[in-house]
Amino acid sequence: MEISSLFLIYTIIFLSSCFVLLSYHPYMKKRRKPQEQSAKLPPGSMGWPYVGETLQLYSQDPNRFFASKQKRYGEIFKTHILGCPCVMLASPEAARFVLVTHANLFKPTYPRSKEKLIGPSALFFHQGDYHYRLRKLVQASLSPETIRKLVPDIESTAISALHSWASPPNNDQVINVFHEMKKFSFNIGILAVFGHLDSNYRDQLKENYTIVDKGYNSFPNSIPGTAYSKALLARKRINEIISELISKWKEQRLIENDLLGHMLNYKDEKGQTLSDDQIADNIIGVLFAAQDTTASVLTWILKYLHDDQKLLEAVKTEQMAIYEANEQGKKPLTWTQTRNMPITYRVIQESLRMASIISFTFREAVEDVVYKGYLIPKGWKVMPLFRNIHHNPELFPAPHSFDPSRFEVPPKPHTFMPFGNGVHSCPGNELAKLNMLIFIHHLVTKFRWELVGNEKGIQYSPFPVPLHGLPARFWRN
């Protein structure tokens, strides 16, 4: 993986400044309890002065970096990346300890630059009572009872997207599958958040969200003209658009079952409602959580099915039975039918495992913690490594082989975590799976596709996707 000179400069400057702060980390000075005094830091390397092992991480496949560390040091090891001392955890038991049983000892942590773009009130930046209330609210708007009503709209969105990709007979247009999947996922996110939104508002949100998305992983400075500066301005415009929608909603006294409706109707035990900023932050948070992750998995699914024609035929046979039952597609899909696609669902599960779009998550120890005799000092970052767990041969035999049949038997608890685990797991996972099932149904029953080029590889943007976004051509059957 190439590293731009800009990134190198940014990394060195950023980490140098962090090193000064870390020199005075309370870990170095405070007195510890007897249990903590006897505990030692996990094995591992902290890398070079100032920059730690950040350059090693970003100069190679990140998965190789983590796998080599695990092989050398075991399932618990320390490192120093992105300006922070970290403890990596690569076992289901450790992930459960951090994310479920002792989640109160580890808070979510994100770079301030990213928090500004999404919004500080977004639920995944919080823990405790505020997080509990907001999560419950979001879950209610994305529960199976609610999203089952979206099946017709998701279906029409999927059909429209696929028809726009399909080449006319004399036109071999090449589609960047990942980019197009992002558009599809965004439209579904808008549907879940706002319901049937006026096209003018939808286009404005899409235009500004795209700018925010481009600046999200850019160098975080406010110099006019930079990607991050443009993203900040676009984020401000999104706030204005959402405020206008809220005003219209209140004027018309609408009672809707979408996320915006749930948030506007919300009152806590003291009768307090959510502010416009809180609503906007959480709406943006849901759109961010939904778009790239779902788009990445769908892109991998297309590749995996293309590369395994026998599996593709099995999926197609399953879906054609539903297609014929619906009078060759003249009748719409039903919620019940989406619940009865076992082969397709196993393909989705195996794609989630293989691709491991969310390779790890960041937490921060809020106090000194001892786990299996190792000390995790207060303030250190803690990273459960989902990909390492999903690719552990003791848990998933032949882990680098794509084999959906492995999910004919449910995986052991806490070994399969594509949507995270515990109180901060993704509340929209049912909607994401519904999107995939409906999309695959229409893809395999009405279209065929071929990949363009023979290049193999993975790019990180920041989620892993096939090289160049998987260029492909589509045709109607």
Residues annotated in the binding site for heme, as ranges?
426
Residue 251 lies in a domain: no
Of 83-97, 168-182, 378-392, give the lowest mean pLDDT range.
168-182
Q: How many domains does the chain have?
A: 1
Residue 292: which residues within 8 A CB-CB, separation 6 or more? Answer: 182, 185, 213, 463
- The yes-or-no verdict on residue 2 having pLDDT over 60 is no
Q: What's 297's domain CATH number?
A: 1.10.630.10
Q: Which of 237, 213, 235 is nearest to 295 (CA)?
A: 213
Residue type, 254: L
Q: Strand runs (DSSP E) across 109-217, as ranges?
A: 175-176
Query: pLDDT band for position 266 (50/70/90)?
Result: confident
Percent with pLDDT over 90 in the chain: 55
Give 112 or 60, the one with higher predicted confidence: 112
The pLDDT value recorded for residue 34 is 54
Residue type, 317: T
Residue 201 lies in a domain: no
The pLDDT value recorded for residue 40 is 92
Q: Contact at 8 Å (CB) between 48 and 81? A: no
With tokens 């005094």, the residue in question is: 37
User: pTM for this one?
Assistant: 0.88
The pLDDT value recorded for residue 17 is 43
The arithmetic mean of pLDDT across residues 135-147, rounded, is 89
Give 472 or 23, the one with higher predicted confidence: 472
Residue 225 lies in a domain: no
User: For the chain, what is the radius of gyration of the CA atoms?
Assistant: 23
Q: Please name every residue paired with 458 in a beta bridge, in sequence order, or none if there are none.
A: 466
**Between helices 429-446 and 342-355, what is the axis angle to 10°?**
120
- How far, in Å, CA of 120 to CA of 212, rounded? 15
Residue 298 lies in a domain: yes
Residue 162 lies in a domain: yes
Residue 70: which residues within 8 A CB-CB, separation 6 or more? Answer: 77, 88, 90, 385, 388
The pLDDT value recorded for residue 255 is 60
The arithmetic mean of pLDDT across residues 443-451, rounded, is 95
Residue 202 lies in a domain: no
- How far, in Å, CA of 318 to CA of 63, rounded? 34
Residue 149 lies in a domain: yes
Residue 456 lies in a domain: yes
Can you give the residue range of the structural domain that contains 35? 5-195+256-476
- The yes-or-no verdict on residue 337 having pLDDT over 70 is yes
Residues annotated in the binding site, as ranges?
426
pLDDT per residue as tens digits for the range 348-406: 999 999 999 888 888 999 999 999 999 999 999 999 999 999 999 999 999 999 999 99
